Amino acid sequence: MKTTRRQFIQRTGTFAAAAATFSAGRAANVNGRFTVGIIGPGGMGSAHLSALGANPKVDIAYVCDVDSNRLAAAARSVEKLKGAAPKAVGDLRRVLEDKSVDAVFIATPDHWHAPATILACDAGKHVYVEKPASHNLREGRLMIESARRNQCVVQMGTQTRSAAGIREAMDLLHGGAIGEILVAKAWNSQRRGSIGKSQPGQPPASLDYESWIGPAPMVPFRPNLLPGIWRWWHAFGTGDFGNDGVHDIDIARWGLGVETHPSRICAMGGKYFFDDDMQWPDTQNVLFEYAPDAKGRTRQLIFEMRIWSPYVLEGHENGCAYYGTKGHMLLGKKSGWKLFAGNEVVKTGPGGPDLPAHHANFFECIVSGARPRADIEIGHLSSSLCHLGNIAIRVGRTVQFDPVKEQVVGDDAANQLVRRQYREHWATPKGV
């Protein structure tokens, strides 16, 4: 029988030996050091670069970006932080083919998350991938399969999962502090800017646009794709549900304690405020219903999004509420939580997030073989809520979902949106 990484570690008790033995595609992780590459060290990627730069256990061997300006800036930052320049490459395959690289951090736009993660796992690399895990539901399943097939640790970038204050709140909820939780709500209430309207134009000279598009179907460049504006286009992003909302719905689902997909999704929303090129809704209200659990309990998740609000809700720009049979809790992702018994506050605690702690958990799991706090399966369940809420809005009707087959039931148009179209490209995932 094949020995798993975890069984081997339990048997030998030596982390370095375990890493050396099981890192088929990776260099042996002796001395407790990790060699990493950062793919997409631009926006959020630069936050990873700073945190990894300050981590004495990490050697940043590569930075990889398809924008030569961002690439050069990232290489300079690493040299400043670590005293040694990394290799600076524009093609992620150069990072993946280097056997000395243990792990990659992927902070590209959403449409590259799954293709890059699957290639990385197949090359034997552990992966820290930004949220949302995937651009669509089918990709998330393929990411799980690739992680498990290659025995790689895949952590999603929902760093609130590693924040001590939020973890304490979850322990209270799961310990019955408000009784049985039947409903939880997440909200994303903030004021975003308009992305304006644009015409097709020439990409900046520093950008390898062909590689930026990757396996997605080719479309002409537009000035309001960059910087970071791609997230409002169907082909590349997942709207603000998959952008900020995924953190909130993830914390709401975590507290509610459901570890499956919902079976019914009802949503309304659209472009109620912005008159611009944004393709995703600026206003979105989604209800997710979970089929009865083993004890016969049905549960509900609610997501509210208004990205034109110059005010916050219940004191929190991004927050969650948990409704139990005995009490409730209000939780701000950043600002902390309040536990209520009746209408009285009986306990409070701090919020998050904690990026260095989320990195530390990733590295610990590479050594121990344990599943990380935002393991790809957890990431897939939470990211799928964004995808399903978006699907229900796009088709404009209630969607029935089979949580096991991961298929929409009885609605071909909605089911088409469980996956996407790709062009012929070396990074197009197999089996999509």
Ligand X SMILES: NC(=O)c1ccc[n+]([C@@H]2O[C@H](COP(=O)([O-])OP(=O)(O)OC[C@H]3O[C@@H](n4cnc5c(N)ncnc54)[C@H](O)[C@@H]3O)[C@@H](O)[C@H]2O)c1
**Burial 145-168, CB ≥16 within 10 A → b, else e:** ebbeebbbbbbbbbbbbbbebbbe
| Least separation in angstroms between CB 318 and ligand X | 10
| Least separation in angstroms between CB 371 and ligand X | 19
Q: Is the dihedral of CA 83, 71, 240, 379 positive or negative?
A: negative
Rounded CA separation 216/425 (Å): 9
| Least separation in angstroms between CB 171 and ligand X | 23
Among 36, 61, 65, 140, binds ligand X (CB under 6 A): 65
| Least separation in angstroms between CB 176 and ligand X | 31
* Nearer of residues 328 and 380 to ligand X, judged by Cβ: 380
| Least separation in angstroms between CB 16 and ligand X | 30
Rounded CA separation 398/268 (Å): 9
Which residues ranging from 149 to 208 are in contact with ligand X (CB under 6 A)?
157, 159
Which residues ranging from 100 to 139 are in contact with ligand X (CB under 6 A)?
107-110, 112, 130-131
| Least separation in angstroms between CB 258 and ligand X | 22
Please tell me whether residue 142 binds ligand X under the rule CB under 6 A.
Answer: no
Q: Collect contacts of 307-312 with beta carbons under 8 A, ≥24 apart.
A: 307/188, 307/190, 307/191, 307/192, 307/240, 307/273, 307/282, 307/283, 308/191, 308/192, 308/272, 308/273, 308/274, 308/282, 308/283, 309/189, 309/190, 309/191, 310/191, 311/189, 312/189, 312/190
| Least separation in angstroms between CB 17 and ligand X | 33
x-marked contacts with ligand X along 235-274 as a string, rule CB under 6 A: --------x-------------------------------
* Residue length of the chain: 432
* Nearer of residues 63 and 177 to ligand X, judged by Cβ: 63
Please tell me whether residue 212 binds ligand X under the rule CB under 6 A.
Answer: yes
The stretch among 97-105, 211-219, 381-389, 403-411 that binds ligand X (CB under 6 A) is 211-219
Amino acid identity at 106:
I
> Reduced to 3 states, what is the DSSP secondary structure of residue 147?
helix
x-marked contacts with ligand X along 23-62 as a string, rule CB under 6 A: ----------------xx-xxxx-----------------
| Least separation in angstroms between CB 71 and ligand X | 8
* Nearer of residues 203 and 255 to ligand X, judged by Cβ: 203
State how far the alpha carbon of 327 is from the alpha carbons of 109, 230, 233, 251, 385, in Å: 40, 41, 40, 18, 26
| Least separation in angstroms between CB 230 and ligand X | 6
Among 66, 143, 154, 173, binds ligand X (CB under 6 A): 66
Rounded CA separation 401/211 (Å): 34
* Nearer of residues 92 and 393 to ligand X, judged by Cβ: 92
Residue 153's φ and ψ, nearest 5 degrees, are -80, 130
* Nearer of residues 6 and 93 to ligand X, judged by Cβ: 93
The neighbour count for residue 87, using CB atoms within 10 Å, is 16
Q: Which among 257, 277, 280, 254 has a CA at the least distance from the CA of 267?
A: 280
Rounded CA separation 268/39 (Å): 36
* Nearer of residues 110 and 375 to ligand X, judged by Cβ: 110
Alpha helix (H) residue ranges in 23-84: 44-53, 68-82
Which positions touch ligand X (CB under 6 A)? 39-40, 42-45, 64-67, 70, 92, 107-110, 112, 130-131, 157, 159, 211-212, 214, 227-228, 243
